[in-house]
Amino acid sequence: MVGGIRAVERCDALGHAPYSDMAGGLHRGYLTPAYAASQQSVASWMAEAGMTVRIDVAGNLVGRYEGTASGPALIIGSHLDSVRDAGRYDGPLGIMLGIECVAALHAAGRRPSFPIEVYAFGDEEGSRFPLAMLASRAVAGTLGDIAHEPVDAQGVSFFQALRDYGARAGVPVAASFGEYAAARHEGAFAYFEAHIEQGPALETAGLPVGNVTAIAAQKRYAIQLTGRAGHAGTTAMGLRRDALAAAAEMMLATEALALSAGGEHVATVGTIAAAPGAANVIPGVVRFTLDVRAATDAGCAGLAAALLDRFDAIAAQRGIKLAADLLHELPASPSDPALMDLLDQAIGAEGVPIRRLMSGAGHDAMILSALCPTAMLFIRCADGISHNPAERVAVSDVEVAARVMLRFIENLEGLRNA
């Protein structure tokens, strides 16, 4: 039997010191002492499951279970790092379920025809350095050119942190991005990731698991509005160039346009700051972020363009100068149709109605899609809450997910041997 209960218990065990960098909560930054301590425990669980274990030059933990034949591997993975004051299941649950599937095969004396590698990636969240998914990008071979070495909030440079981590973990690590890229995988035929949904769709539908169709395309902008600061008591309403009032109208427009776009379009203003920030001064400058996501690249680009056009019109009407800088852009990452069909079969064999849904959040799977075909299984989480200590999963749902994953591996072997 695959151990969904044990997977949850292990995630819980990693939810506190020494596996967290903060007191009274969970924060596991990439390359920190808490990260290294977590790797040690996860490595022991991989070894118990029958895997050989290594750490690559990027600090990813990898467990390998040999198949009856050589050749490309099935990668099962997710991330070990967390945001600050996090929940316990975002990332680690997918790793633990991968370990449980291998443990079940090993206990039964079974080996698929292909190797299985379970990856615990280092920095999906980007919560320590201002570059996310570096470790999975290295594995996928999409690291690209990085002009400047990133530095964390404490002023520690990336490769200093990597050296410190390597000394703690007792492993050789990269000294440059050129060496970091040596973590690239030699070749896999598929990547599979199980992850909590981080949204309410499965709970609303009353379903324990769902099949992910794609990871959404994303555009993120930094918006700056420049009006004119003035005295709150002496400047007539008709003469004001209030940057904050313009921002408020733009936020309402963001909600309205995303709603009218329908389907799986979403748009969010996540941060806002007004200056000079005094109760008796009309705000002269406002900065806010705009995050736009959709199931397709075209849908994301269309909604983003419509929003910026509306912002331009609002700014012009109010006498406000508008500047919009694109911070980052991620293309949509569709799941592989053949793998999705195999996953549907595995879900259906458990007597669970098939539900296909998009992921609005980014995942390592979107990076690994450059290496091989990908599939994802979503697991219901209570109230759709994630990135929050209140993040919860039902053990019964995780048990279903574990059985579905094992069936998927069996279905995948049938497809490979056909």
Q: pLDDT value at position 323?
A: 98
pLDDT tens sequence across 305-349: 999 999 999 999 999 999 999 988 888 999 999 999 999 999 999
Strand spans (E) along 99-174? 116-121
First-residue to last-residue Cα distance in the chain: 26
Measured in residues, the chain has a length of: 418
- Residue ranges at the known binding site for Zn(2+): 79, 90, 125, 195, 387
- Residue ranges at the known binding site for allantoate: 220, 280, 293
Q: pLDDT value at position 197?
A: 96
Q: pLDDT value at position 70?
A: 85
Burial pattern 341-363, b for ≥16 Cβ within 10 A else e, equals ebbbbbbeeeebeebebbbbbbb
CB 83 within 8 A of CB 37: no
- pLDDT over 90 percentage in the chain: 89
pLDDT tens sequence across 357-408: 999 888 999 999 999 999 999 999 999 999 999 999 999 999 999 999 999 9
Query: What's the mean pLDDT in 67-85?
Result: 95
Q: Which residue, among 93, 112, 109, has the nearest Cα to 401 in the 3D structure?
A: 93
Residues 90, 388: Cα–Cα separation, whole Å: 10
pLDDT tier for residue 146 given thresholds of 50, 70 and 90: confident
Q: pLDDT value at position 1?
A: 58
Strand-pairing partners, residue 378, are 195, 210
pLDDT tens sequence across 272-300: 999 999 999 999 999 999 999 998 999 99
Q: pLDDT value at position 98?
A: 98
Average pLDDT, the chain: 95
- Residue ranges at the known binding site: 79, 90, 125, 195, 220, 280, 293, 387
Q: pLDDT value at position 418?
A: 62
Q: Encoding tokens for residue 23? A: 């007191």
- pLDDT over 70 percentage in the chain: 99
Q: Encoding tokens for residue 297? A: 């690249």
CB 158 within 8 A of CB 136: no
Q: pLDDT value at position 327?
A: 87
β-strand pairing of 356-359 with 209-215: parallel
3 state DSSP class of 216: coil
Domains, the chain, in order of start with CATH, read 4-215+332-417 (3.40.630.10), 217-330 (3.30.70.360)
